[in-house]
Structure formats: structure tokens, C-alpha cells
């Protein structure tokens, strides 16, 4: 019996909230030391366990999905596996080269060109320049960035960046490929292209894949095993159908958070629909309020509606035609709106938020839930079953 390619033994990760910030890198530690020269040591602030006693093994060639609500610990787990951050407790054993595609903005040197970053990543993975050259044309073709190959990646759009980052990670043939939800940045065609490549890497080349996603349809199609996380712990590990069912049951429960952090600066204080449950084809009102710990500019903002399987089915564009929204501690962003005829058919939906600030962007999925029931009017035909009608019911005037 072969040894596990990944062994996770009692991994826990603790962060300190408030003034006592963690310093995961040497640069962070030096910056913290310089800022605190001559100052008395501050009292330890409240601690937060992002991971708690996580244990599992991964066999060579397995394709594992990692699912859970926002804040469940999925991304922290992948950062620990990728050795980006060090665990507070526990040990990890990796028996092979690991390539990871996590947050946009990590993994590449911003001042280097796309061409230079391809070779840099190959060296980091322990490959020779000859090995990288053998894969170079395939990487460039997959990423579709040939015209910008000699441009510094800091000038790439988020979509271009992710295309190149995924192409590099997948084509340099590490034994272990770790992919976070970052693929959501790409368009639908590129997402399908990436999923196809991950299937090829796993099934035809025998590589091991760990895949975090809120898209349950993609997870179910790609993964033979799922780890379901919540509150920093493993809630379930095994059959995809069983774990997805448990997760879908979990997200139907309303969140009890009073404010959900959207990155380091902005938090969602309120995202509500009224009425909820609502009725298909009837009016629906919404309220959104965001707060911020420091002043920034809200460039883009949109409410996103997803099916329970993670497919994005609708968007409410909240951008301001005249420009950006200033937001700060004393200047929250608040808006209300009314949809005259809500077109989605009956069912349970998840509500998320896309937000782009001057410092970063966030794409969150599980900030609220919405239940829609079928419209019934006396004297009219009963509607077709929801699974037969698709997701949207169109209104029309018919002449016979």
C-alpha cells in the first residue's frame, strides 16, 4: 500500500485579533519589530482559531474538493498546505512537489513579465530551465496572454493574471495541485477550460488535486472525495453526494453573524430581502449596508444570486453612474432597492456580494439566503415543475 502523498496531523492555526497581529513572514516580523522599538509590549488581544485539530490523509492521484461556508477555514488550510503560513500546532507531511493557485496577487513577482514569472515558478518547483522551456508554448497558449507575455504582470487584469497563474501551476506538472476559488475571476469559458485541465491532470497524469469551490456542480463532477469544513474543523470527509447534501443543508440556516468581514477593511452589516420567502414574479425589495474600518473608495458593488449548487444565476448591479462611493468608519455605504417582478422560479437561493475597493476586491457567496415560492392565481393553470422550467420564468403576451 502506497504512503499518503499528503498527511495532515492535528493542524491548528491561531490568529490574534486587534493590535496583536500575527507575523507569518520574515518581512512581517521585521516590520512589526521596527514599529514597536521603544514601545512597551501590548497586552495580548483576543485570539481566533481559523483551524482547529484538522487531520486527514490524501492518497496519490486523489481529487479532493474542500467545501464550506465563508470563514470555515478552507483558504487557511490551503495556505498552510502550500507553506504560505505556518501552523500554530500540528504537522504536515508532503511527499511531492506542490503548486498552488490561491489569491490573485500571490505567486508571481509583480515587477517581472509574464515570461519571467513562468521560469521563476518553474525554478521554485525544482525544475530545470530545459524542462520549463518544454512546457512554455503550451502554457502561453492555454493562458491566452501571448501579446502581453513581455509586459510586467502588475499591469495584467485580474482575469489575465489568473489565466497565466493557473496555466503555470497546471502545466509544470507538480505532484500536487492546490486550487482555491480564485478561478471564479475568469469567465465561464475559462472556468470550463480549467476544470477540463484539472480532470486531465488528475485522471490521465495521476496527479493529486485539492480544489476549493462554492460551485457544487463543478465539485461533484471533478472530485471523488469531499472534505466539508466549518468553524475551522472537519465536519465531514468522504462521499461527495453525502457531503454536498450536508453542506446544502447547512447553508439554508440563516447566518447569526452581526457583521461579516469582507477582507481586512470592509464588512457587511446588513443584506436582507423582503419579503423572504418571496413569490416568483412578484416585487422584491432589498437592503444592503457596508461598513469600513478606514476610509476607502468603493469602486464596484453587486449583489449576486446563486443556485444551491453554486451556479451564478442573477446579478443586481449597484455601481454608481457618476463614479466611486467613499466609505469609512463614520460613512457607511447603504442602499435599498426594489425589483418590480422577481423572475426566478421557486427554490432556495444563496446570496453573495462582489465588491471592488481601491485596495482589494472580494467575492463572497454565503452572506444571505432567499427562498422563492411559486405564484398561483385563481383560475390559471398550475405552473410546470421547477426542475422542468429552468431558473427564470419569462413574462409574455400571447395571441392565439
Whose cell is 500575527? That residue is 22
Domain range enclosing 51:
6-23+46-251
What is residue 122's predicted lDDT score, i.e. its pLDDT?
Answer: 80
Count of domains observed in the chain: 2
Radius of gyration in angstroms for the set of CA atoms belonging to the chain, rounded to a whole number: 23
What is residue 107's predicted lDDT score, i.e. its pLDDT?
Answer: 66
Residue 383 lies in a domain: no
Of 234, 251, 268, which residue is a domain's last? 251
Co-location of 315 and 337 in the same domain: yes
With a pLDDT cut of 90, the percent of the chain lying above it is 30
What is residue 185's predicted lDDT score, i.e. its pLDDT?
Answer: 58
Residue 307 lies in a domain: yes
Co-location of 230 and 278 in the same domain: no
Using CA atoms, how far apart are residues 112 and 19, in angstroms rounded to an integer? 34
**pLDDT tens digit sequence for 291-349:** 888 888 888 889 999 887 778 889 999 987 777 888 888 889 999 999 999 999 888 89
What is residue 361's predicted lDDT score, i.e. its pLDDT?
Answer: 63
Co-location of 98 and 219 in the same domain: yes
Co-location of 354 and 221 in the same domain: no
Most confidently modeled of 20-29, 177-186, 242-251? 242-251
Residue 180 lies in a domain: yes
Indicate the average pLDDT of the chain.
82
Using CA atoms, how far apart are residues 207 and 199, in angstroms rounded to an integer? 10
What is residue 262's predicted lDDT score, i.e. its pLDDT?
Answer: 66
Co-location of 58 and 75 in the same domain: yes
CATH code, domain carrying 15: 3.40.50.300
The β-bridge partners of 388 are none
Res. 116: pLDDT tops 90: yes
Co-location of 65 and 197 in the same domain: yes
| H or E element at residue 123 | helix 114-124
Res. 65: pLDDT tops 50: yes
SS3 at position 188: helix
Closest CA to 70 of 364, 392, 390, 391: 364
The confidence band for 42, taking pLDDT boundaries of 50, 70 and 90, is: very low
Residue 33 lies in a domain: no
**pLDDT tens digit sequence for 223-274:** 999 999 999 999 999 999 899 888 887 766 655 555 666 667 788 889 999 9
Res. 39: pLDDT tops 60: no
Res. 117: pLDDT tops 70: yes
With a pLDDT cut of 70, the percent of the chain lying above it is 82
This model's pTM is above 0.75: no
CATH code, domain carrying 300: 2.70.50.60
Q: Which long-range contacts (CB under 8 A, 24 or more apart) does 386-389 make?
A: 386/345, 386/346, 386/347, 389/345
Residue 69 lies in a domain: yes
Residue 40 lies in a domain: no
Co-location of 143 and 203 in the same domain: yes
What is residue 358's predicted lDDT score, i.e. its pLDDT?
Answer: 62
* Greater pLDDT, 324 or 111: 111
Co-location of 154 and 246 in the same domain: yes
CA distances for 378 relative to 258, 375, 381, angstroms: 41, 10, 9
Res. 44: pLDDT tops 50: no
Res. 1: pLDDT tops 80: no
Using CA atoms, how far apart are residues 43 and 294, in angstroms rounded to an integer? 23
Co-location of 242 and 274 in the same domain: no
What is residue 19's predicted lDDT score, i.e. its pLDDT?
Answer: 47
Co-location of 321 and 244 in the same domain: no
Co-location of 264 and 241 in the same domain: no
Residue 371 lies in a domain: yes
Asked if 148 and 160 count as a contact pair (C-beta separation under 8 A), the reply is yes
Co-location of 146 and 208 in the same domain: yes
Residue 330 lies in a domain: yes
Amino acid at each position: 500500500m502506497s504512503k499518503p502523498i499528503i498527511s495532515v496531523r492535528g493542524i491548528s492555526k491561531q490568529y490574534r485579533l486587534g493590535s496583536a497581529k500575527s507575523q507569518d513572514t520574515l518581512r512581517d516580523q521585521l516590520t512589526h519589530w521596527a514599529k514597536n522599538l521603544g514601545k512597551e509590549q501590548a497586552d495580548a488581544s483576543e485570539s481566533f482559531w481559523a483551524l482547529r485539530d484538522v487531520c486527514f490523509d490524501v492518497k496519490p492521484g486523489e481529487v479532493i474538493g474542500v467545501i464550506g461556508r465563508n470563514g470555515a477555514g478552507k483558504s487557511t488550510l490551503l495556505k498552510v498546505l502550500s507553506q504560505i503560513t505556518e501552523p500554530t500546532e500540528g504537522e504536515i507531511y508532503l511527499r511531492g512537489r506542490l503548486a498552488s493557485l490561491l489569491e490573485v496577487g500571490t505567486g508571481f513577482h509583480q515587477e517581472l513579465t509574464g515570461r519571467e514569472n513562468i521560469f521563476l515558478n518553474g525554478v521554485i518547483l525544482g525544475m530545470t530551465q530545459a524542462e520549463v522551456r518544454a512546457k512554455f508554448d503550451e502554457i502561453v497558449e492555454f493562458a491566452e496572454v501571448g501579446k502581453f507575455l513581455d509586459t510586467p504582470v502588475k499591469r495584467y487584469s485580474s482575469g489575465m493574471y489568473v489565466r497565466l497563474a493557473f496555466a503555470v501551476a497546471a502545466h509544470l506538472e507538480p505532484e500536487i495541485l492546490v486550487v482555491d476559488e480564485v478561478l471564479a475571476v475568469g469567465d465561464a469559458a475559462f472556468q470550463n477550460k480549467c476544470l477540463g485541465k484539472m480532470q486531465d491532470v488528475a485522471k490521465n497524469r495521476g496527479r493529486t488535486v485539492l480544489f476549493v469551490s462554492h460551485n457544487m456542480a463543478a465539485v461533484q463532477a471533478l472530485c471523488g472525495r469531499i472534505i466539508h469544513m466549518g468553524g475551522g474543523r472537519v465536519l465531514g470527509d468522504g462521499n461527495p453526494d453525502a457531503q454536498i447534501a450536508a453542506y446544502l443543508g447547512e447553508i439554508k440556516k440563516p447566518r447569526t453573524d452581526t457583521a461579516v468581514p469582507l477582507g481586512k477593511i470592509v464588512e457587511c452589516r446588513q443584506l436582507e430581502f423582503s419579503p423572504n420567502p418571496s413569490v416568483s414574479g412578484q416585487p422584491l425589495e432589498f437592503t444592503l449596508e457596508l461598513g469600513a474600518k478606514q476610509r476607502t473608495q468603493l469602486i464596484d458593488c453587486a449583489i449576486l444570486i446563486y443556485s444551491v449548487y453554486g451556479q451564478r444565476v442573477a446579478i443586481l448591479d449597484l455601481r454608481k453612474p457618476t463614479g466611486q462611493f467613499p466609505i469609512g468608519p463614520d460613512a457607511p455605504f447603504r442602499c435599498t432597492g426594489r425589483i418590480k417582478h422577481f423572475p426566478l422560479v421557486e427554490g432556495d437561493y444563496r446570496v453573495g456580494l462582489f465588491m471592488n475597493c481601491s485596495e482589494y476586491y472580494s467575492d463572497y457567496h454565503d452572506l444571505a439566503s432567499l427562498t422563492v415560492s411559486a405564484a398561483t392565481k385563481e383560475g390559471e393553470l398550475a405552473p410546470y415543475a421547477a426542475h422542468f422550467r429552468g431558473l427564470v420564468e419569462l413574462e409574455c403576451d400571447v395571441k392565439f
